[in-house]
Amino acid sequence: MKTTVYIFLLVFISLSLQAEGGHELWLRNKSTGHVTVTCSRNSATLAVAIKELQQGWQGKDNAKVVLTIKDDKAIKYDGFKLSPGEIQANTDLGILYGVYELLRRQQTGHPIEKIICNPSYEVRILNHWDDPDSSIVRGFASRSIFWRKGKNSLVVTDADKALWQEYARANASVGINGAVLNIVNASPLVVSEGYLERVKAIAAVLRPYGIKVYLSVNFAFPSMIGGLKTSDPLDADVIKWWNAKVREIYSKIPDFGGFLVKANSEGQQGPHDYGRSHAEGANVLADALKPFEGILMWRAFVYSPNDKDRAKQAYNEFMPLDGQFRDNVIIQVKNGPIDFQPREPFSPLFGAMKKTSVMPEFEIVKEYLGASIHLVFLAPMWEECLKSDTYQEGAGSTVARCTDGSIYPQEHTAIAGVANVGVDRNWCGHLFDQANWYAFGRLAWGNTLTSEQIADEWIKLTFSQIPSGQAASTLFSTDWTEKFLVPVKKMMLQSREAAVNYMMPLGFHHIFAMPNTHYGPGPWWAPEGVRKDWTPPYYHQADTNSVGFDRTRFGSDAVSQYHEPLGSQFNDLETCPEKYLLWFHHLPWNYIMKSGRTLWDEICYHYETGMQQVREFQKIWDMVEPYVDTERFTQVQDKLRSQFRNAQIWKDACLLYFQQFSLKPIPYDIDRPVYGLDYLIKNSDNYYGL
């Protein structure tokens, strides 16, 4: 008891000492003048909208803004119409989004034009991988903002509510409207009465900001905690149990969003355990949610140890079920067929399931991209996925259009991002990881936005120091723009490709350190007895002749899961993009690349380039020192140093490991490895400190 108190005190003290720790995110700008806001209605959401306008107004002093709520078919979901003196929407929440758009334009120096602005997806949701014990799986920003450990774990404090409100505001400001509060490997605790009370309290704080709460549930809850002998979805008692549980939840939280389920995946129970299909399993939960307008997000992240090619399995399992799911089920599909690797081709399920709602799942938290240590801006990765053409309904059938309702008449459209927030003072561990949270929201709202635009906005909102009373058009001096904005944006926009280069270039995938950190390199990891599809050699297939996973028609034929002409493009060495080369092809080390170099040399130059890119990022950042407060400058500088050391380790480890197969020298104009392979293997799962 005493210990707990002390810990709280310590946390409080350490928080209050950090004056500029980045806690204010992209919401640090204050008003520079007075604005009069007129609105014909009242609501908690509208009150927030008015307050935001008044606190952040940077337009003309003593201007007037009218907020108008009326039905307009040009406006979709919670979209809005914006014009210099008015924000119009169908809903109160639409008004709030309009306010944030208006303020963003003021604060980034963009004109307030007459526009209609609709969200691309109905549901724009964060998946928190938070456990009720307050730990976060792949959490790099300390512990959960929702859950607390120990005796008083269910007591809702004022500090809790304040933090949740800040979180809600940040989400709303970028258009996010939902949050799954617990990890997909769901603990039964979350649907117990005490925890549901806490969920209710969270929902109450989030509600004015338009954020609905959702829960992950385990398919086996009926037998785990319901006192039933089975969780068979066709069992009458099971159906009854789910209906009752859903009713209980809605009795507490009438606008509860719904469930997220990970079933028959990585040890989680699912309908297969009872001889039922994913559809049969999902539909029971969907039926329970339906009367309350709840939705069920059902993950397609499934793979078994026996299949010849893990990349094919989600498609193989789910395609036959197309059309069998209830209309409030959405199949949640990771961007790529394996697992959030630095680069994957898009999942072939996108666009292929034509009679089922499908939603993309992105990972905002950088599980495989350097945790909260590396500076990696993820928007380019998501943009790459969203803009990928599936060809499912002819050219232009991008992943974006296949999932946002443009092509298929989905009952629900949605997009999910695995959250990267925790109780760290700066929310995300790395200051620049805030940009990924920001970018996810912006892309979820507008899935054709460019990474460049998003980066531009985020940098301006996060780093500009706007003097009081200054007009928007003069916000950003030429000096600041040229010496800060341009180089930092360049760094952000290159950062994902840099990570691909120094981690897994040219189609390499799943060669990270196993079994724990998923952080450093581990292409060698393959202990006896471990299932093969968890070991990197399963994916890189290196031998003294060649390297890469053959997914052509002569191999696993994964290419055929892609619609023509894409399947043939990937299948054919002439047309397969080199960035996916080793994903689809097993090739000799001396295969000649488009550059004229051998494959081996090209691999070496990619790793070297990645490492040199990080070195360049260090220079860029050091040079912007005059434009950033010391605390944020130093934080990022330190992390970039670690990132460089890690990039060096990735390069050294991968080149020295694969050199054992290629038996060729590393080109001599490349900086030599500075770590020995034995040393790197020995420290394999422990690179944070190096």
Catalytically active residues are 266, 339, 367
Return d(Cα 557, Cα 243) in angstroms, integer.
42
Instruction: Using only the alpha carbons of the chain, give its radius of gyration.
Output: 25
Nearer to a second copy, 133 or 685 (CB): 685
Neighbours of 417 (CB within 10 A): 25
Q: What is the DSSP letter of 552?
A: S
Q: Smallest distance, Å, CB 15 to a second copy?
A: 21
Return d(Cα 444, Cα 415) in angstroms, integer.
6
Q: Smallest distance, Å, CB 644 to a second copy?
A: 5
Return d(Cα 600, Cα 608) in angstroms, integer.
12
Q: Are 286 and 328 in contact (CB under 8 A)?
A: yes
Tokens of 517: 């950190």
Nearer to a second copy, 35 or 614 (CB): 614
Q: Are 334 and 347 in contact (CB under 8 A)?
A: yes
Nearer to a second copy, 416 or 503 (CB): 503
Q: Smallest distance, Å, CB 426 to a second copy?
A: 18
Nearer to a second copy, 23 or 641 (CB): 641
Q: Which residue in this structure is represented by tokens 């008891």?
A: 1
Cα dist. 359→121, 527, 565, 586, 629 in Å?
9, 36, 24, 31, 40
Interface contacts to a second copy, rule CB under 8 A? 615, 618-619, 622-623, 625, 638, 640-641, 644-645, 648, 665-666, 668, 671-676
- The angle that helices 236-252 and 278-289 make with each other, rounded to 10 degrees, is 40
Nearer to a second copy, 394 or 676 (CB): 676
Return d(Cα 527, Cα 535) in angstroms, integer.
8
Nearer to a second copy, 143 or 374 (CB): 374
Return d(Cα 100, Cα 34) in angstroms, integer.
17
Nearest to 655 by CA among 680, 682, 690, 684: 680
Partnered with residue 179 across adjacent β-strands are 126, 213
Return d(Cα 432, Cα 428) in angstroms, integer.
8
Nearest to 143 by CA among 432, 424, 373: 424
Nearer to a second copy, 443 or 647 (CB): 647
Return d(Cα 403, Cα 332) in angstroms, integer.
10
Beta pairing, strands 329-334 & 587-588:
unpaired
Q: Smallest distance, Å, CB 625 to a second copy?
A: 7
Q: Smallest distance, Å, CB 455 to a second copy?
A: 22
Q: Smallest distance, Å, CB 678 to a second copy?
A: 9
Q: Smallest distance, Å, CB 677 to a second copy?
A: 10
